[in-house]
């Protein structure tokens, strides 16, 4: 009887959680509404300010850049129906198609000029401003050395956008499909300020879907944008995004038919799902890395040998096999496997492992810790690891906590923060050791390496190295691909030699989709595209 009562109570709690998340009835009915659980609540869905995958997934389905990406993540025409590139690769001329915003106003070249300069404006405080340093005088404008009129982006007229670069960028055309390069409306932002992205009435977009409800504690509802120039290609009537962080609750909602897809599943269920539910469970590739950032300005993380000892003392193989179980591989460098250089060689294979192995090197780690002045951990105060609220992050942190205790004699405290708070904490450098991660913005090593230039908003270790900055700057301007890749190998070697981060594993994307959900595109770059998706039930 006690068991029966407990099961009933558990079922009631799950049902209450569905209602609390705005899920009031099972998926179905005449409308084709994709109900998708993103797990973490988003900090922002402003394309200029967002730095997270969850926010990015919403944004790429609501907005469109000059280009969009095909199934191979190669650029195809988006808002620009065509473009020309100068012979020296420094000037791009984009021709804007006839397209409308969700409120019916025309999309113009001026929208792009305003948006890109907004990213670069230091007053905006965009963490992704460095992503625009490819533009002529972009970095100088961000540093208040030149005015906005000198930045290399200009609306020649409503239909023509001229872009000038600091140097040839082989992946620039793909960059224009990235959210930071999306257009935003100047009149809307000037009228509503930072609140423009909080209300559906002011969240004016130009992509396949438009907002109809934006309630973080409830649901973000989007419907098909009939003003989108290619609306006939969009089959779904809308998308509902939910934010159930408890993966067991999310899985229960999926199994009960209340949602159609899950971003992330309970790790302990992966083995069973692989055997019993191959139709709905999929592990997608992800060009990304799970790592820990060391704040190099905080004791004792300002001691390189301490950082090296901590990195060598963990067993990456056991973390992937016992905890994550999603086909991840141990990370022994920073740039993941899967990116080819100009000769067709894998960047990771050429770069090597920097002395890091899949299993722990306890003797070497102890030696380094002793050389740092802390033999067997003596004299070392308790370390603190922070992570954003998530079951997987907690389990990985607990495993590392135990490894450092057993292998080095170090005491470690764990602290979790909600996602929005956590993003502020690590950006401001108000931590000692932090869970971190990165998925590629484009398929080039630079998307991982330029995180750590001194003026990058994503430089969570707070590391500053003038030589590294200069090397990255030179690599971005280098037209010889062989030399450019050589420079990037040098840059990775510099940041790994200083051990500003601790690589843990390379990502995969375990997800759930109902069998009736068709043609969702899950990109190795981390985004999920619903523009071609459909719901087809028997």
Mind giving me the DSSP string for 69-89? E-TTS-EEESSEEEEEE-TTS
Q: Which of 61, 53, 196 is nearest to 118 (CA)?
A: 196
Cα 223 to the center of its chain, rounded Å: 24
- Axis crossing angle, helix 391-408 with helix 304-312, rounded to the nearest 10: 110
Q: Tell me if the domain spanning 2-41+210-284+510-535 has CATH number 3.40.50.300.
A: no
Strand runs (DSSP E) across 463-500, as ranges? none
Q: Backbone phi, then psi, for 70, in 5-degree steps? A: -85, -170
- A 10 A CB-CB count for 205 gives 28
Q: Are 308 and 368 in contact (CB under 8 A)?
A: yes
Q: Which of 143, 167, 165 is nearest to 154 (CA)?
A: 165
Question: Who's near 516: CB < 8 A, 6+ residues apart?
Answer: 260, 535, 536, 537, 538
∠ CA 394-429-133, nearest 5°, is: 110
SS3 463: coil
- A 10 A CB-CB count for 73 gives 17
Q: Are 515 and 279 in contact (CB under 8 A)?
A: yes
Distance CA(8)–CA(2), nearest Å, equals 10
Q: Are 504 and 252 in contact (CB under 8 A)?
A: no
Q: Which of 135, 139, 203, 208 is nearest to 175 (CA)?
A: 135
Written as six digits, the tokens of 298 are 């905080």
- The strand pair at 329-330 and 412-417 is best described as unpaired
Q: Which residues of the chain have pLDDT under 50?
A: 1-20
> What pLDDT does residue 537 have?
85
CATH no., domain 64-182: 3.90.76.10
> What pLDDT does residue 41 have?
84
Distance CA(312)–CA(403), nearest Å, equals 10
SS3 348: helix
Structural domain spans, the chain: 2-41+210-284+510-535, 64-182, 285-508
Q: Tokens 């140097």 sit at which residue?
A: 167
> What pLDDT does residue 486 have?
96
Q: Backbone phi, then psi, for 146, in 5-degree steps? A: -135, 170
Distance CA(214)–CA(217), nearest Å, equals 9
Q: CA torsion sign, 227 to 230 to 236 to 242?
A: negative
List helix spans (H) across 128-239: 138-142, 172-175, 186-192
Distance CA(99)–CA(86), nearest Å, equals 26
Instruction: List the beta bridge partners of residue 240.
Output: 35, 221
> Taking the complete model, does pTM exceed 0.85, yes or no?
yes
Tens-place pLDDT, residues 288-336? 999 999 999 999 999 999 999 999 999 999 999 999 999 999 999 999 9
Distance CA(172)–CA(443), nearest Å, equals 11
Q: Tell me if the domain spanning 285-508 has CATH number 3.10.105.10.
A: yes
Distance CA(163)–CA(114), nearest Å, equals 13
List helix spans (H) across 29-134: 53-62, 109-120
The CB-side HSE value for 49 (13 A sphere, CA atoms) comes to: 18
> What pLDDT does residue 25 have?
58
SS3 414: strand
């Amino acid at each position: 009887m006690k068991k029966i009562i407990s099961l009933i109570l558990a079922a009631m709690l799950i049902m209450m959680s569905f209602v609390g998340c705005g899920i009031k009835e099972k998926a179905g009915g005449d409308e084709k509404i994709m109900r998708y659980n993103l797990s973490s609540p988003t900090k922002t869905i402003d394309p200029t300010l967002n730095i997270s995958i969850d926010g990015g997934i919403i944004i790429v389905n609501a907005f469109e850049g000059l280009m969009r990406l095909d199934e191979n993540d190669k650029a195809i025409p988006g808002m620009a129906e065509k473009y020309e590139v100068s012979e020296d690769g420094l000037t791009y001329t984009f021709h804007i198609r006839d397209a409308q915003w969700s409120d019916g106003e025309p999309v113009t070249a001026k929208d792009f000029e305003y948006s890109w300069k907004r990213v670069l404006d230091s007053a905006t405080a965009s963490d992704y401003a460095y992503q625009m340093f490819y533009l002529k005088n972009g970095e100088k404008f961000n540093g208040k050395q030149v005015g906005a009129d000198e930045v290399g982006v200009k609306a020649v007229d409503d239909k023509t956008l001229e872009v000038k670069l600091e140097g040839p960028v082989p992946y620039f055309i793909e960059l224009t499909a990235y959210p930071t390069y999306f257009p935003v409306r100047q009149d809307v932002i000037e009228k509503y300020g930072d609140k423009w992205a909080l209300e559906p009435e002011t969240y004016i977009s130009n992509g396949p879907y438009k907002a109809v409800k934006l309630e973080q504690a409830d649901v973000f509802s989007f419907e098909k944008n009939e003003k989108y120039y290619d609306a006939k290609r969009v089959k779904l009537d809308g998308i509902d995004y939910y934010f159930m962080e408890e993966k067991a609750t999310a899985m229960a909602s999926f199994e009960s038919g209340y949602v159609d897809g899950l971003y992330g599943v309970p790790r302990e269920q992966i083995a069973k799902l692989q055997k019993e539910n191959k139709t709905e469970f999929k592990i997608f590739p992800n060009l990304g890395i799970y790592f820990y950032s060391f704040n190099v300005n905080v004791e004792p993380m300002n001691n390189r040998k301490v950082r090296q000892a901590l990195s060598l003392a963990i067993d990456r193989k056991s973390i992937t096999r016992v905890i994550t179980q999603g086909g991840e591989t141990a990370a022994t460098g920073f740039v993941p496997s899967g990116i080819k250089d100009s000769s067709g060689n894998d960047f990771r294979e050429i770069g090597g492992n920097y002395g890091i192995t899949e299993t722990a090197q306890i003797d070497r780690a102890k030696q380094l810790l002793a050389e740092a002045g802390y033999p067997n951990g003596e004299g070392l105060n308790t370390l603190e690891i922070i992570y954003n609220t998530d079951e997987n992050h907690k389990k990985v942190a607990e495993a590392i906590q135990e490894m450092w205790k057993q292998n080095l004699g170090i005491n470690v405290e764990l602290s979790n923060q909600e996602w929005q708070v956590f993003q502020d904490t690590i950006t401001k450098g108000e931590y000692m050791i932090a869970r971190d991660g990165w998925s590629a913005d484009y398929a080039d090593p630079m998307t991982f390496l330029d995180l750590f230039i001194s003026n990058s908003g994503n430089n969570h270790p707070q590391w500053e190295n003038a030589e590294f900055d200069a090397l990255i700057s030179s690599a971005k301007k280098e037209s010889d691909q062989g030399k450019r890749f050589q420079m990037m190998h040098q840059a990775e070697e510099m940041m790994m030699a200083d051990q500003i981060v601790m690589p843990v594993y390379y990502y995969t994307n375990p997800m759930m989709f109902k069998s009736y959900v068709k043609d969702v595109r899950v990109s190795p770059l981390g985004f999920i595209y619903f523009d071609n998706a459909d719901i087809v039930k028997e």
